[in-house]
Amino acid sequence: MLNTLAANFDLARLSLAPETTAIEIGAWAGWIPLFPLLAAMACGWMALRSGRPAARWPALLCIAGLALAFLVSVSLAITVGHGNAQVTIFEWIRFERLRADFAFFVDPLTSIMLLVVTGIGTLVAIYASEYMRGDQGYARFFAFVSLFIVAMTTLVLADNLILMYLGWEGVGLCSYLLIGFYYEKPAAVAAAKKAFIVNRIGDLGFALGICLAYLQFGSVEFAAIFEQVEALRTSGAEIPTAIEAIPFLLMLGAFGKSAQLPLYVWLPDAMEGPTPVSALIHAATMVTAGVYLIARALPLFLISEYALPTVAWVGCLTAIFSATIGMAQYDIKRIFAYSTVSQLGYMFMGLGVLSSVGATFHLFTHAFFKAALFLGCGAVMHGFAGQLDLRRLSGLSRVHGWQVVTGSMLVACLALAGFPLTSGFFSKDMILAEAFVTDGPGYRAIGWIGLFTAGLTAYYTFRVFFRVFLGPVHYAPGEEQHGGHGDHFHPHAPGPAINVVLIVLGLGAIFAGWAAVGGGHHGWFGSMIHHSTAAYEAPAGAAHGGFFSNPHQWMMLASSVVGLLGIGAAAYLHLYNRAAAERLRRSILPVARLAENKWCVDEGYDLLIRRPLRFIGHVCYALGDTLIINGLVALGGAVPRLIGAAVRPMQSGRLQGYGLGMAGGLATIIIIVWVML
C-alpha cells in the first residue's frame, strides 16, 4: 500500500512562485498576524487601566484588527491563486545546522485556512460586541480573542515545524485563558486546567516529532523535509523505522488539539467559557489545527504504511463514540460540543481514506454551520438568563423576536445533518464515498460506520431543534433567575449584531457547499487543494466496479436517505410524540444513563490514571521530598550544630580551662614531632 500511496504525491506541484510574486505575497502575509497583534495590545492596555474602559472601544478595535486581517487574507488568496511561495520575514533561530526563520509558506491550503480563521473570527467578534456587553472583563476578552487570532494565523502561515509549534502553543495558551475567562467559577477554572493538561500530552508527542524530524532530515522546514521524503521514495530504499515513527508522533499532537480518542475529554468541558469562545476556538478554528497539521504534512504521512489507516480508524471511532454521547445529553451547548468532536472525527477519517479534499472541505463548511449553531445557543442562553436545558425550553420559534435565531439554527441543523444541497451534504459525501472505494485495512467498514454515524448526527441535531424551537411554547429561566422569579420572567430577543452574524453564517451553511461543485477536481475548492501539500489523486485509470462505479452519485442518495431517517426519528420522538421518547429511555435505562454520564470515561480516567498517578506522587513526595531531600537539608544543618556543640565548652571564659587546653595542645604537638622523628 505504501508504494501506491506515495506514487501519487507529486512534489512538482510545490515549486515556488516567481521572485516578484514571492515578495508581493510576503508583503501581504506579514500584515495578517500584525493587525490582530496591534488590536490585542490596545485591548490589553485598556484592560489594565484602572476603572472600566470606554464603552465599545475594545470591541471596535478587535473587530477592526480582525476585519483588516480578513481583507488581507482575501487579497493574499487572490494573489496566490494556485501558486505558492516561501517568504522569510526575519531570521529567527540559527544554531549550527538548525535553521528556523520566522518565515511563511503560503499555498492554497494556507489561503483557505486564513479565510476561515479571520472570517469566522471577525463575525464572532461582532457577535461578542453585543453578547459580552456589560461584562467586567470586556476589554480582557477582546484582548484574548485578538491574541488567539495572532497565534492561529502564525500556526497556519508557518513554513517550518518550530514556528508552527510556537503558534500551536500560543493557541493552547489563549484557549486556557478563554475557557477560564470566568475565573471566579470553579467549574471554569477546572475546565481550563483540564484542557491545558490534556493538550500537554498531545503537544509532547508533537515536540518529539519535531526533534525526530530534525535528527532524520537535518531540517525543520517543510520544503526541505518534503524534498528528502521524495528522494527517499524514488530511491527505492527501505524506509528507516525512525522516519516512520515521525507521523505517529505528529499524529498524537493532532489528536490532542483536535479532541480525538483518547484525548477528546477536554473539549466538552471547555463549554464553561463564554459562548463566542465556543464558536471561535472550539468549533471553527483551534480544534481544526490537528486536521491542518496532517493535511500540511501529508507527504510525511504517506511514507508510513500504517499512519493514515491509524488516522482513519481513530477518526471513525471518535465520530461514532461521541455521537452516542451527544444523543443522550440535555445541555444544548454540550450536545454541539460532542457533535464537534464527532465532525472532527469525520475530518480525520477523510484524511485517512485519502480524501484530502473532502477532509479540508468539511473543515471549511463545518466552520459555518457549527459557528452558527454555537452562536444560536449563545443567543438562547443570553436571552433566557443562562438556560440551556432542552427539557425546559420549547416553541421559541413562536416567541416574538426569535425568528432569525430559529431560521439560522434550522439551516445550520440541516447542514450538520447532511440534508441535500446544504454545505454539510457535499462535504460528508466526499469523505464517505472515498471510504467505500479506497483500498485500505477495513476502509469499507469505516464507510459503513461513518454512514451510520451520519444518521445519528441527524437525529441528535434535530432532537435539539424540535425540542427547543418547535412544539408548544414553554420556557424557564436559567440559573440567574432562580429563586421564585421564573413565573415573571420575560426573555429578551437578540439585538442586530447577533442577528446579522447569524444570518451571514446561515447563508454560509447553505451555500458554502457549492464551492466544491463542478469541475474535474471538485470545483474551485478541489482545484485549490490540488495545488497544495494536501494534494492527492487516485491512480490514473483506477476504476471501481459494481455498486461503487460512481461512488459520489450513490453516496448522495445513501446519505440523503440516512439523514432523512434520522430527522424523521427525531420528529416523531421529540416533536409529535415526546412521551414516546421518555418511554424509550425508560426501556433502555441502564444504557441511557451510561450515555448521559458520557460512558463514564472521565471516571475511568480518574480511576485508572489520575488516582494512581496521585498515589505515586504522594509516595514520591513522602520518600523523595520529605525523607531524602528534607533529610539531607536537615543533616546539612545538623553537622555544623554538632561541631558547634563540641567546640562550645572550650569557649567558657575560664583561664584555667584555657591553660589546660594550651598544655594539652603543646603536649600533642610534642608527641607528634617525637613520633615523626
Give the rounded percent of residues in the chain with a pLDDT score beyond 90: 47
Give the confidence band of 76 by pLDDT, cuts at 50, 70, 90: confident
pLDDT over threshold 90, residue 445:
yes
Residue among 403, 410, 396 at smallest CA distance from 491: 396
Which residue has 443562562 as its cell numbers?
386
CB 173 within 8 A of CB 151: yes
Give the confidence band of 19 by pLDDT, cuts at 50, 70, 90: very low
Give the confidence band of 385 by pLDDT, cuts at 50, 70, 90: confident
Asked if the structure places residue 46 within a domain, the reply is no
Dist. CA 460–CA 570, nearest whole Å: 7
Our measurement of the distance from residue 69's CA atom to the centroid of its chain's CA atoms, rounded to an integer in Å, reads 21
Asked if the structure places residue 463 within a domain, the reply is no
Dist. CA 36–CA 64, nearest whole Å: 8
In three-state form (DSSP H/G/I as H, E/B as E, the rest C), the secondary structure along 478-501 is CHHHCCCCHHHCCCCCCCHHHHHH
DSSP letter (8 states) at residue 260: -
Residue pLDDT, tens place only, 328-369:
999 999 999 999 999 999 999 999 998 888 899 999 999 999
pLDDT over threshold 60, residue 575:
yes
When the pLDDT of each residue in the chain is averaged and rounded to a whole number, the result is 85
Asked if the structure places residue 653 within a domain, the reply is yes
DSSP letter (8 states) at residue 218: S
> What pLDDT is recorded for position 324?
95
Residue pLDDT, tens place only, 580-606:
989 998 999 999 999 999 898 888 888
Residue 95 one-letter amino acid: F
Give the confidence band of 41 by pLDDT, cuts at 50, 70, 90: very high
Total number of residues shown for the chain: 677
Its domain, for residue 630, covers 602-676
Asked whether the CA dihedral 34, 40, 43, 48 is positive or negative, the reply is negative
Name which residue leads in pLDDT, 454 or 79: 454
Overall number of domains in the chain: 1
pLDDT over threshold 90, residue 659:
no
Dist. CA 631–CA 357, nearest whole Å: 62
Residue pLDDT, tens place only, 603-656:
888 898 888 988 888 888 888 777 888 888 888 888 888 887 777 777 777 777
Helix ranges (DSSP H) in 353-495: 356-383, 403-416, 423-437, 443-469
Measured in degrees and rounded to the nearest 5, phi and psi for residue 92 equal -125, -75
Asked if the structure places residue 659 within a domain, the reply is yes
Residue pLDDT, tens place only, 402-436:
899 999 999 999 999 999 989 999 888 889 988 88
Asked if the structure places residue 47 within a domain, the reply is no
Q: What is the mean pLDDT of residues 23-27?
A: 62
C-alpha cell at 338: 460532542
pLDDT over threshold 80, residue 100:
yes
Q: Which of 7-16, 66-75, 126-135, 556-565 has the lowest mean pLDDT?
A: 7-16
> What pLDDT is recorded for position 545?
45
pLDDT over threshold 80, residue 55:
no
Q: Which of 373-377, 461-465, 531-535 has the lowest mean pLDDT?
A: 531-535
CB 446 within 8 A of CB 437: no
Between CA 439 and CA 449, with CA 443 as vertex, the angle to 5 degrees is 160
For residue 420, cis peptide bond before it (omega within 30 degrees of 0): no
Asked if the structure places residue 449 within a domain, the reply is no
Dist. CA 562–CA 555, nearest whole Å: 10
108-131 helix and 57-80 helix, angle to the nearest 10 degrees: 160
Continuous segment of H or E residues that includes residue 30: none
Asked if the structure places residue 447 within a domain, the reply is no
Dist. CA 419–CA 523, nearest whole Å: 20
Strand partners, 475: 393
CB 372 within 8 A of CB 432: no
pTM across the whole model: 0.88
> What pLDDT is recorded for position 570?
94
Q: Which residues contact 666 (CB under 8 A, 6 or more apart)?
A: none
Torsion of CA 196, 199, 200, 201, to 10 degrees: 140
pLDDT over threshold 90, residue 21:
no
pLDDT over threshold 50, residue 17:
no
Dist. CA 491–CA 134, nearest whole Å: 18
Dist. CA 274–CA 378, nearest whole Å: 8
Strand partners, 98: 95
Asked if the structure places residue 669 within a domain, the reply is yes
> What pLDDT is recorded for position 22?
55
> What pLDDT is recorded for position 71?
93
DSSP string, 512-543: GGGGG-STTTTHHHHHHHHTSTT---PPTT--
